[in-house]
Amino acid sequence: MKWTNDITRLLGIDFPIVQAPMFGVTTPAMVAAAGTAGCLGSLALADLDAEQCRDAIHKTRMLTQRPFAVNLFVHHIPGIDDRLRADYAEAKVWMEQLAQRYNLAVELPAIDDLAMHNYAEQIEAIMDENCKIVSFTFGNLDPQSIARLKSRGTVLIGTCTSVKEAELLAQADIDIICVQGIEAGGHRGTFATEDIPAIGGLSLLAQVSEAVKVPLLYAGGIYNAKTLLAARALGANGFQIGSLLLGSAESALHDFEKDRLRRAKESDIVLTKSFSGRFARGIKNIFVDESEASGLILPYPYQNKLTAELRKVARLNKLSEFVNIWMGQSISEFSSDSTTTIFKRLIEQTEILAD
């Protein structure tokens, strides 16, 4: 196995390991620790405003001189119409009653008080900060942003969950495609929010590698040397790994969340829209059951904003039944070692197995 570097020649490719961006879990320390292992760290920016993006980038640069990727959500934000306003009001009352039933004191925001951040303002921030690797999910960047970023030599990494999405990214001249199998933890990177494809990684990676000429990262279920080498055999040029790092020293998860992860059984892991309005893979709990039964799930990002306060209060009270604990289908021991150690161990084991 050939692991050249520096990551690896700034994603010319040769099998880089990429720390998956994981909003809410990834910290500047995790990004830096991935870099120390010779891997690519990814800083998740989700829906942070421009100032918060700059701050996160600065904090990361204080910890590492190594290159890292920044990661954006590039979805469309639905406007507020009468229907959404009414649905939001109904969902808010329902959620307040749910919180009361479980003795959680929450004050949920009115729809007009929500702050939404379009990725356009993030693009300005990351260009000002001269970020050289940009990954994104939930769709494709607009053509103007692609042209602007590429004219500055930025490497663009888009996410696909179907062959069709891979083809769209390839046609748009995206440099690298991250193929996300259905096994993956966290949100599905699918362009659409409804009727999402549910293709397993084995089928998807093999087919995408035949359909497009673009280099591929594979994401979904990699947790040891065998799974990594399987992805390689199916056409991956690099590997994006998330869930394996959830218990790591640099993970932002609280101890009670890490404890819950370590107790997870395969039947606990589901795809659900209940926390955010977009399908994401994580641990089923009381909130998931209640929310799905209510039939009152708002479109993303409104559901995400509505549940934020409930999740915050539940976190303060260490209540794993009301927080989103994302994880993929590959259950590991969720080592508490540093991200550097976890990645170095994976590289060592892969080298042994590949020989």
Ligand X SMILES: Cc1cc2nc3c(=O)[nH]c(=O)nc-3n(C[C@H](O)[C@H](O)[C@H](O)COP(=O)(O)O)c2cc1C
**Does 141 sit near ligand X (CB under 6 A)?**
no
Unique residue bearing structure tokens 């870099």: 35
Q: Establish if 183 lies at the interface with ligand X (CB under 6 A).
A: yes
| Amino acid at the residue 23 | F
Based on CB atoms, which residue is closest to ligand X, 35 or 221?
A: 221
Instruction: Output the smallest distance, CB 23 to ligand X, in A.
Output: 3
Is 222 a binding residue for ligand X by CB under 6 A? The answer is yes
CB of 136 to ligand X, least distance (A): 7
The piece of 8-16, 79-87, 240-248, 295-303 that touches ligand X (CB under 6 A) is: 240-248
Q: Does 330 bind ligand X (CB under 6 A)?
A: yes
Residue whose CB is less far from ligand X, 157 or 212: 157
In terms of CB distance, is 155 or 241 closer to ligand X?
A: 241
Using the rule CB under 6 A, is 219 a contact of ligand X? Answer: yes
User: Does residue 71 interact with ligand X by CB under 6 A?
Assistant: yes
Residue 342 in the binding site for ligand X (CB under 6 A): no
21 binds ligand X (CB under 6 A): yes
Which CB atom, from 84 or from 192, has the smaller least distance to ligand X?
Answer: 192
* Identified binder of ligand X from the candidate list 7, 17, 25, 323, rule CB under 6 A: 25
Which of 18, 306 has the CB closer to ligand X? 18
35 versus 247: smaller Cβ distance to ligand X: 247
Question: CA 145, CA 16: separation in Å to the nearest integer?
Answer: 25
Using CB under 6 A as the binding rule, the residues of this chain from 266 to 295 that contact ligand X are none
- Nearest to ligand X by Cβ — which residue? 242
Piece of 101-109, 113-121, 217-225, 260-268 that binds ligand X (CB under 6 A): 217-225
**Residue 146 or 219: which CB sits closer to ligand X?**
219
Q: Is 228 in the site for ligand X (CB under 6 A)?
A: no
Q: Quick one: CA torsion of 55, 58, 64, 65, rounded to 10 degrees?
A: 150
Instruction: Report which of 116, 104, 144, 107 is spatially closest to residue 286, judged by C-alpha positions.
Output: 104
Q: In what order do the strands lie in the sheet with 186-187?
A: 186-187, 280-283, 269-272
CB of 207 or CB of 332, closer to ligand X: 332
**Interacting residues with ligand X (CB under 6 A):** 20-23, 25, 44, 46, 71, 137, 159, 180, 183-187, 189, 219-222, 240-243, 326-328, 330
